[in-house]
Amino acid sequence: MQKVGKRNTRSLTWIISIVLVLSVVLSACGNKEEGQANGSNGNADYPLEVSIMTITPSAVPAADDNVIKRAIEKATNSKMNIQWVSNNIYGDKLNLTLASGDIPDLIMINDPFGSTFTKMVKQGAFWDVTPYIKDYPNLSNGIPDIAWETTKAADGNNYGIPRPRPVTGDSFFIIRKDWLDKLNLQVPETTDELFEVMKAFVEQDPDGNGAKDTTALAAYISPDDLGWGGNLGPVLGAIESSFIGTNSSWKWDESQGKLIYRELLPEVRESLQYLTKAYSSGMMPEDLLSLKLTQARELFKRNQAGIIVDKTGTMRKIYADDLKKVDPSFKYTDFYPLTNLNGYNPKGAGYNGILAIPASVPEEKMKRILKLLDTWMNPEVFEIQQFGIEGTHYEVVDGKKVTNTEKLTADNASDFNHIVNVIDLPWDTTGETDEETQANELFKKVEAERDKTSVADLSAGLQSETGQKVLSELNKKIQDLKAKIILGREPIEAWDTFVESLRNDPNVQAMSDEMTEAYKKRNGQ
Amino acid sequence: MNTVKGKQTSARSKWLNLLSALRRDQSLYLLALPGILFFLVFKYIPMWGIIIAFQDYSPFRGIQGSEWVGLQHFTELFANPDFALLFRNTLAISLLNLILFFPFPILISLGLNELRSVAYKRLIQTIIYMPHFLSWVIIAGLTLLLFAKGTGLINELFTLWGWPRVDILTNPDSFWVMVTLQAMWKEAGWGTIVFLAAMASVDTQLYEAARMDGAGRLRQIWHITLPAIRSVIIVLLILRLGDIMEVGFEQIFLMYNGAVSEVAEVFDTYVYRTGIEQGDFSYSTAVGLFKSVIGLVLVVVANRVVKRMGQEGVY
């Protein structure tokens, strides 16, 4: 070290400094790639370059060179840059993306009535697609009217293309039929009968292991579920909704001629008393508040709970195959969906999120994006994500496509449903085994039965400005208080006091008036 | 005239002095340059975003196009009935941290410093550092596994021994103490590093001399070790005061549930809910800014007090 002269040290210092300065500067502006490539090609026959952000339920999303993606791109003459976001964090990620102002060309808005999106729509940040839809037959005919109707913004226009979902098959109670049979019980049809079933599930050892270690409802209460089903989460919310007869946050009162806020209804009090009794009798997990969705599902999968609230389509993927490992005698048909409870079952809103196009996208390109979605909905294109590619994912045997489910899942085929989904396909009940086919036939039958009595959310798509401001805090307060009452920390009288204060709250009154007005306006009164 | 000229020359000579100082230590300044640039680019320039606290920020209009609303968000915050609650919870958790958590690593370090066997000391150190590297998600999961009222291991054991089950996770009375103990379990070991380093630099002759004079172990700790690490303790305490409004978002967020909401809602979780979940960006920025200002004031005041007491502060 001594030998190095002063000059050398100095030039060494220079070099080090320059390298460090450069590294700081370069890392600061590292995030500016592309941006140029987009928008350069409005029409022409070049493949449409489009950036997309949507949800994925898969732990590992489809890669950029995914075979199915490549095939869809080829069929639609596009080049997609898809940002897959896990469904656990989609709401947060969406808000951050909207706040950044750097919005993808096609973005999935999971709640078209969320405050950030609604505000931006008012400022003109997204394309009003209403006038263009009629030019695209698949968009106008392939997506049911109810979906277009319920996703309309306050001004009556559509600021996005709804992702259609069947109105049948909304989440509802699913019960262990084998447990019912073992205990000689009927499928419950009222909340009182359900209570008896739950009691038996707790006390009469339905899993037959000689220990009193089962509970009834795989329930939980989490802040993630604020804003719907009485803020109680899917399971307990479904019970409350069965008491009321709707999952809506509003109920029409004919005598007063106005919409009544759900929490003010006497049925909510009744259901709270019911749930308090159920909790103290061990019919739901003791750690109701500490559990999250996945842990509650675990209870059902581990043979420790007999009732869940979910869609029947989740049977194999989420529950049944895991449960079979613990209880080999469990059959797919034991995953038994209830038709009605107190004569009620919920009707879906017909959509799950919308696809919006930011106003910064030029009109020509916006049209091409609509065209892309339209083409994608053509049967021959949609089949790519349904069946995959011949030879790789399916073989044609006797004119029928026989798919390799494992290979399709491995290639994330169903993830593309989170961009485009076609729903009016006839339901093919054929499963991989006879057992699965029987289960599918059962589900199909139950859904047809449900369809006769299902109740839609009458306030879907209605908006109140006051509600936008006060609801998030209010929802949280409601959830906290209900949770405390169910746990026995607060008496039911605390609820009465709260309801009384709600009744006198000017914000709640304003919200009711605005909702009533919007409701009447939509019904042409 | 003369005075003006005098001022000019003194100003000029100041410049010249500065220049010559710059030239003299040019290598040092050059080496500092990347650091300065780093802070400018990554810390100071982004800080401009704070101005949205005084706007009705709309992402679509951007900072230039958004409407100015002055102090509206701050008045809204102070008028919010939940403000007192947020303030109380944040302060309570922070003070508990200060009283229970802060001295704990010092006690551990004193104990470790007295160990004779170096190998044993190293082993203990490694073990107690470990929890620092676990994420809060894992620790929250472990807490649930151990303390859940229904299926938690501890409660299963209690039942086995015929004791009543305890409710820790959904009990508003014990929430503050629980999160403090949790933080101690995770970070106390890591916190010993600085103190142990300070203790290692104490001249061993001091101990020898004290022993000659007949001082026992406790005397040595009291008269030699503690005074030696006093300045480190003070610096850390001042920095800790600056964080008094921060209580660790992840931890509180993960341990939060409906039953403990009135003791668990703190500024950090409130900012998350209003900002990220509800998209009320300006308001949540205002809350965050308020929090930071309190922290800054506390650091400055504490530093003054310490200096007046004749100790060395952080700056």
The enclosing H or E element of A9 equals helix A6-28
User: Helix crossing, B226-242 with B103-113: angle to 10°?
Assistant: 150
pLDDT computed for residue B5 by the predictor: 53
* Residues in B 68-97 with any Cβ partner in A closer than 8 A: 82
pLDDT computed for residue A37 by the predictor: 43
Is A257:A517 a contact under the CB 8 Å cutoff?
no
Q: Do B38 and A24 touch (CB under 8 A)?
A: yes
The torsion angles phi and psi of A251, rounded to 5 degrees, stand at -130, 135
Is A220:A291 a contact under the CB 8 Å cutoff?
yes
Q: Do A287 and B144 touch (CB under 8 A)?
A: yes
A137: tokens are 């037959």
Q: Do B276 and A20 touch (CB under 8 A)?
A: no
pLDDT computed for residue A25 by the predictor: 66
pLDDT computed for residue A115 by the predictor: 81
Give the count of beta carbons closer than 10 Å to the beta carbon of residue A24.
19
Give the count of beta carbons closer than 10 Å to the beta carbon of residue A86.
13
pLDDT computed for residue B8 by the predictor: 63
pLDDT computed for residue A35 by the predictor: 41
The torsion angles phi and psi of B222, rounded to 5 degrees, stand at -65, -40
Rg (CA), chain B: 26
What type of residue is A309? Answer: V
Is A314:A443 a contact under the CB 8 Å cutoff?
no
* Residues in chain B closer than 8 A to A223 (CB atoms): 256, 258
Q: Do B278 and A14 touch (CB under 8 A)?
A: no
pLDDT computed for residue A253 by the predictor: 92
* Residues in chain A closer than 8 A to B258 (CB atoms): 221, 223, 289, 479-480, 482-484
pLDDT computed for residue A39 by the predictor: 43
Q: Which residue of B has its CA nearest to A103?
A: B60
- Residue with structure tokens 């080999």? A328
A329: tokens are 């005698």
pLDDT computed for residue B286 by the predictor: 94
pLDDT computed for residue A258 by the predictor: 92
pLDDT computed for residue B93 by the predictor: 93
pLDDT computed for residue A1 by the predictor: 43
Closest alpha carbon to A46 in A36, A56, A38 = A38
For B135, residues 6+ apart whose C-beta sits below 8 A from its C-beta are: B250
Could you give the CA distance from residue A406 to residue A394 in angstroms, rounded to a whole number? 11
pLDDT computed for residue A33 by the predictor: 44
Distances (CA, A) of A74 to A64, A79, A211, A381: 14, 8, 59, 10
Collapsing DSSP to helix, strand or coil, A260 comes out as strand
Residue A29: is it exposed, middle or buried by C-beta count within 10 angstroms (0-12/13-18/19+)? Answer: exposed
How far is CA A200 from its chain centroid? 32
The enclosing H or E element of A82 equals strand A78-86
CA distance B183 to chain A (A): 19
pLDDT computed for residue B180 by the predictor: 94
CA distance B200 to chain A (A): 29
Q: What is the signed CA dihedral for A420, A422, A423, A427, rounded to 10 degrees?
A: -120
Q: What is the pTM of this model?
A: 0.81
Residue A30: is it exposed, middle or buried by C-beta count within 10 angstroms (0-12/13-18/19+)? Answer: exposed
pLDDT computed for residue A13 by the predictor: 73
CA distance A36 to chain B (A): 20
| Residue pLDDT tens, chain B, 315 long | 455 555 566 778 888 888 888 888 888 888 899 999 999 999 899 888 899 999 988 888 888 888 899 999 999 999 988 899 999 999 999 999 999 999 999 999 999 998 888 899 999 999 999 999 999 999 999 999 999 888 889 998 998 999 988 888 888 999 999 999 999 999 999 999 999 999 988 888 999 999 999 888 899 999 999 998 998 999 898 888 888 888 889 999 999 888 898 899 999 999 988 888 777 889 999 999 999 999 899 889 988 988 888 877 777
pLDDT computed for residue A26 by the predictor: 66
B71: tokens are 């102090």
Could you give the CA distance from residue A4 to residue A15 in angstroms, rounded to a whole number? 15
* Residue B170 touches partner A, C-beta closer than 8 Å: yes
pLDDT digits (tens, 9 = 90+) for A36-84: 444 444 445 789 999 999 998 888 888 888 999 999 999 999 999 999 9
- Strand A394-397 to A305-310 pairing: unpaired
Q: Do B144 and A290 touch (CB under 8 A)?
A: yes
pLDDT computed for residue B248 by the predictor: 85
Q: Is the dihedral of CA A435, A439, A440, A445 positive or negative?
A: positive
Collapsing DSSP to helix, strand or coil, A117 comes out as helix
How far is CA A381 from its chain centroid? 25
pLDDT computed for residue A41 by the predictor: 45
Rg (CA), chain A: 27
Could you give the CA distance from residue A317 to residue A322 in angstroms, rounded to a whole number? 9
Count of A–B CB contacts within 8 Å?
107
Give the count of beta carbons closer than 10 Å to the beta carbon of residue A258.
16
Ranges of chain A with pLDDT below 50: 1-4, 32-43
pLDDT computed for residue A44 by the predictor: 56
The enclosing H or E element of A175 equals strand A172-176
For A124, residues 6+ apart whose C-beta sits below 8 A from its C-beta are: A359, B60
DSSP structure class, residue A40: S
What type of residue is B247? Answer: V
